[in-house]
Structures are given as structure tokens and as C-alpha cells.
């Protein structure tokens, strides 16, 4: 094993340090395996209940009328999320598209959108019109209000209550921290927030941006009152093999509205050929619970590796997880770039490519992204991204197998050692610190 790691460019100190860190995670990893088992059975039950059959894998072309596989997959998703309906299509190009669709189809001119959890994900700023953009909600006369989280990451109930007015129609709640250094929301917290919101105004539509959160707990936001949960298939629910797509699971009315916006008024869910995507969408969803578990282990491993070395990490090493993202504040652009290059070098595809920061569409500052993935840009696969701005944090996520997530972590640490960001002496000290704590 040691030789293999050495051949793949991970030196002795880093390898040993990884061993020491993992030895202390046995119990947590066992709990993650139980979670994966629970969610695996939940998904399997939905497959069986809806009689997923070989014919469901075939797909259609053209208009896609009576697409059995597509319609059955939507029922399977709806059952897993415990919602009335679901829209899940290869025509939904990504998570941002799914979110934009959910918002634009359920809001009307004169309505107001509220985010009670601070600034939404970067790409939504242009959807909403926080940053002026063609086709934004703002251009259609839909206004936006935001209430930030309190300094300790809690909900500012007083301000939220004040922000809800006669125009407030839809509330967007982002489960995951995204590119921020705030805590990710647990399902319990989301449930509390939704109960409060509906207490203020019962007919509010509560939407949760579920990106990176699927299968990280036994429940989903729709189990605690969300009217819509929205996400990307090149993250958790695609299981690493869905080649494209997004989903909107929710009430019949919300999903119906979204379907008329995706296709056309009058057509809705009846059209939209699934082409050849169905086998991967089904199999990916089937694999998603264990794939998400691998990514969770990778995130926890990273938190422990870096916290012990003295870097600020969110969530911290011992904290409970509600998404698969691990933020590590490395403090300098050089360190962030070295880390991402290390992740890239650990990839099965394009490992020889050296990523550089660039002006990605939809993002406010330059971003560096490491992703040597089978599905381009897939971030359920081992990947790291970082906006080049203070505090210079990298956001690490994914790993469709645990051994690969583990290797990627060590390779990235090795890159920091090679770049002179972390010294052999510091790794030795971190090991000593670990040995003083019990296993």
C-alpha cells in the first residue's frame, strides 16, 4: 500500500499522518455506513413500489409523450422525498437552472422573494437580479429581500418577521453553505425555520436549495415542511453517473408550475423526451446513498487532517454533517491554488492538467476549480473549488468511492507540502498532538 501511495506521489510523512487521522474516525465512519444503509433501503423501496422495470430504462425521442421511464423516475424521486410530485429531466441543465425554474415559475410580477438565511449561492445573484442581469427576476418586477443569519449562524427571527409583508410569496432557504463560511443548516433547523415562516404567513411557498445535502441525513427538507426541494444531478442524487439534469420535488402545484415554465404553457410534464439518459439517472439515484457516504467520509477526513495542522475548517473536525462540503481556510492564494492542483493530480481523468483561476460565468470573483471527472464539472466526484478572495478558503467535496476521496485528500496535502505551505515538522507536530488524544 505504502509503495502504491509513494508511486502516486504521496510521501511517507503524509501517508503516516493519514493513517493516524483515520484510526480515530472508525466510529464516525460506522455511523455513516448505517446512514447509507438507511437511505439505500429508502431508495430501493421507492424503486420496488413503483415497479421500475427494464422497459423504464429505454427512453424516448421527439416529443416524448408517454415516456414510461421518465414518468416512473419522477414517481420514484417523489416517494424518496415524500412529495406529491417531482420534475426531473435531462432538459434541466444544472442546479442553477432548476432553481431559476422553480423561482420563475412560482413567482409573478409584484411578488417578493425572501432569503432568510443570508446571501444565496453566487449563481443565483444573477437569477434574482442582486447583480443586474438580463432575464432576472428583477426585470420581471419581482423584488427581493434578504435577512442575514446572526453572528453565530442562527436565524434572526425578529428581522425575518419584519421582512415578511403582503408581497412576500416565496422563501428560498439554502441548506448548504455553498461558497460561504457559515454553518450548513440541519434538517431540524430547516424544519424550525419553515414552521416559523408558515406561522407568520401560512401561504408562503418555502423552497429549499438542497444542493449537496441529499442523503446526508435520514430526512430531507420536504420531510419538515418544504414545499419544494431543488437540486442538481451532477451532485449527490446523480450518484456520480447521471450525465446531466436537475430536479424539483414538491407539491403538485409547485411542480406543475415549474413544468409549464420548462416546456410551455399547456404542455408541461407531458413532453420532454428522456433520450438515452434514463439508465444513468436510475442507477445514479440507486447509488447515491453510498456515493454520498463516501463523500461524507472524505469531508470528515479533510476536516481532521487540516484542523490538526492548525487551519480553520468548517465544519470543524468533530461536528455533525449536513452536506458534503468541507471548507478549509488556507489563508493565501498560493496555498489555495496548490491544494486545487493537488486534487486535480489525484483524478482519474485529466490528472496531468494543471488548473488555474479564471473568470467563470455566473461567479463574482475569479474561481479555481479542480475536477478530473467522468462527468464534466461534476462535484459529487472528487473536486475542489475556491473563489480567489479572502479568507482564501477552499471548498472540497465529493469522491464517488471512499478510497479515492482518501487518496485525493492526501495528494492535496502533499501538494501543500511540496509548495512549502506545510512543513514536515508541522506534520510531525500534528501527529504528536493526535497521539496525545485517545483513539
Q: Which 8-state DSSP code applies to residue 57?
A: G
Residue found by looking up cell 401561504 in the block: 203
Question: In terms of CB distance, is 21 or 127 closer to ligand PLP?
Answer: 127
Question: In terms of CB distance, is 178 or 239 closer to ligand PLP?
Answer: 178
Percentages helix, strand, coil for the chain (3-state, rounded to 5) are 45, 15, 40
Residue found by looking up cell 434572526 in the block: 156
| 331 CB neighbour count, 10 Å cutoff | 15
Q: Which 8-state DSSP code applies to residue 285?
A: H
Least distance between ligand PLP and beta carbon 10 (Å):
29
Least distance between ligand PLP and beta carbon 315 (Å):
15
Interface with ligand PLP (CB under 6 A): 94-96, 99, 121, 123, 174, 176, 178, 209, 211-212, 232
Least distance between ligand PLP and beta carbon 217 (Å):
16
Question: In terms of CB distance, is 190 or 271 closer to ligand PLP?
Answer: 190
Least distance between ligand PLP and beta carbon 369 (Å):
11
Residue 226 near residue 207 (C-beta atoms within 8 A): yes
Least distance between ligand PLP and beta carbon 97 (Å):
7
Question: In terms of CB distance, is 93 or 283 closer to ligand PLP?
Answer: 93
Least distance between ligand PLP and beta carbon 126 (Å):
11
Least distance between ligand PLP and beta carbon 81 (Å):
17
Read off the C-alpha cell for 321. Answer: 454533517
CA distances from 109 to 113, 140, 345 (A): 11, 6, 48
CA distances from 310 to 57, 116, 290, 313 (A): 49, 32, 31, 9
Question: In terms of CB distance, is 244 or 413 closer to ligand PLP?
Answer: 244
Rg (CA), the chain: 22
Least distance between ligand PLP and beta carbon 212 (Å):
5
Question: In terms of CB distance, is 74 or 126 closer to ligand PLP?
Answer: 126
Q: Which 8-state DSSP code applies to residue 248?
A: E
Question: In terms of CB distance, is 377 or 403 closer to ligand PLP?
Answer: 377
- Bridge-based pairing of strands 143-146 and 168-174 is unpaired
Q: Which of 125, 69, 66, 70 is nearest to 92 (CA)?
A: 70
3-state secondary structure 391-413: CCEEEEECCCCHHHHHHHHHHHH
Least distance between ligand PLP and beta carbon 174 (Å):
5
Question: In terms of CB distance, is 99 or 305 closer to ligand PLP?
Answer: 99
Instruction: Give the residue nearest to ligand PLP (CB).
Output: 95
Read off the C-alpha cell for 423. Answer: 512543513
Would you tell me the crossing angle of helices 424-436 and 278-308 to the nearest 10 degrees? 90
Question: In terms of CB distance, is 21 or 324 closer to ligand PLP?
Answer: 324
- Sequential DSSP letters for 333-402: HHHHHHHHHHHHHT-SSSTT-----B--TT-SS-EEEEE--SSTT-SSSSEEEEESSTT-EEEEE--SSH
Least distance between ligand PLP and beta carbon 178 (Å):
4
Residue 397 near residue 379 (C-beta atoms within 8 A): yes
Question: In terms of CB distance, is 21 or 147 closer to ligand PLP?
Answer: 147
Amino acid at each position: 500500500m505504502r509503495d502504491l501511495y509513494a508511486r502516486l506521489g504521496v510521501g511517507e510523512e503524509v501517508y503516516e499522518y493519514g493513517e493516524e487521522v483515520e484510526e480515530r474516525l472508525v466510529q464516525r465512519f460506522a455511523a455513516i455506513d448505517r446512514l447509507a444503509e438507511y437511505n439505500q433501503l429508502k431508495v430501493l423501496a421507492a424503486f420496488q413500489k413503483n415497479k421500475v422495470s427494464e422497459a423504464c430504462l429505454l427512453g424516448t425521442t421527439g416529443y416524448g409523450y408517454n415516456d414510461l421511464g421518465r414518468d416512473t423516475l419522477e414517481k420514484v424521486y417523489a416517494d424518496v422525498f415524500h412529495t406529491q410530485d417531482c420534475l426531473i429531466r435531462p432538459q434541466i441543465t444544472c442546479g442553477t437552472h432548476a432553481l431559476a425554474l422553480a423561482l420563475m415559475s412560482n413567482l409573478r410580477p409584484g411578488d417578493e422573494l425572501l432569503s432568510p438565511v443570508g446571501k444565496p449561492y453566487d449563481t443565483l445573484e444573477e437569477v434574482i437580479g442582486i447583480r443586474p442581469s438580463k432575464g432576472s427576476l428583477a426585470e420581471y418586477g419581482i423584488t427581493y429581500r434578504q435577512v442575514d443569519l446572526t453572528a453565530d449562524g442562527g436565524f434572526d427571527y425578529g428581522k425575518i418577521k419584519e421582512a415578511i409583508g403582503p408581497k412576500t410569496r416565496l422563501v428560498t432557504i439554502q441548506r448548504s453553505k455553498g461558497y460561504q463560511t457559515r454553518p450548513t443548516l440541519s434538517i431540524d433547523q430547516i424544519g424550525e425555520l419553515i414552521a416559523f415562516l408558515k406561522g407568520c404567513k401560512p401561504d408562503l411557498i418555502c423552497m429549499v436549495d438542497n444542493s449537496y445535502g441529499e442523503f446526508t441525513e435520514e430526512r430531507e427538507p420536504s420531510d419538515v415542511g418544504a414545499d419544494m426541494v431543488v437540486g442538481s444531478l451532477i451532485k449527490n442524487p446523480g450518484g456520480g453517473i447521471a450525465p446531466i439534469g436537475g430536479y424539483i420535488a414538491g407539491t403538485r402545484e409547485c411542480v406543475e408550475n415549474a413544468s409549464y415554465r420548462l416546456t410551455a404553457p399547456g404542455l408541461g410534464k407531458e413532453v420532454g423526451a428522456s433520450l438515452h439518459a434514463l439508465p444513468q439517472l436510475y442507477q445514479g439515484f440507486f447509488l447515491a446513498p453510498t456515493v454520498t457516504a463516501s463523500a461524507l467520509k472524505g469531508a470528515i477526513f479533510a476536516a481532521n487532517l487540516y484542523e490538526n495542522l492548525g487551519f480553520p475548517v468548517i465544519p470543524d473536525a468533530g461536528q455533525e454533517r449536513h452536506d458534503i462540503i468541507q471548507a478549509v481556510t488556507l489563508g493565501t492564494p498560493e496555498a489555495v491554488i496548490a491544494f486545487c492542483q493537488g486534487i486535480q493530480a489525484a483524478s482519474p481523468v485529466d490528472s496531468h492538467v494543471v488548473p488555474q483561476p479564471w473568470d467563470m460565468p455566473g461567479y463574482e470573483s475569479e474561481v479555481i476549480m479542480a475536477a478530473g471527472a467522468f462527468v464534466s464539472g461534476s462535484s459529487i466526484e472528487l473536486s475542489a473549488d475556491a473563489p480567489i478572495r479572502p479568507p482564501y478558503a477552499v471548498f472540497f467535496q465529493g469522491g464517488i468511492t471512499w478510497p479515492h476521496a482518501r487518496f485525493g485528500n492526501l495528494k492535496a496535502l502533499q501538494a501543500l507540502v511540496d509548495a512549502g505551505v506545510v512543513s514536515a515538522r508541522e506534520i510531525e507536530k500534528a501527529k504528536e498532538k493526535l497521539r496525545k488524544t485517545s483513539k
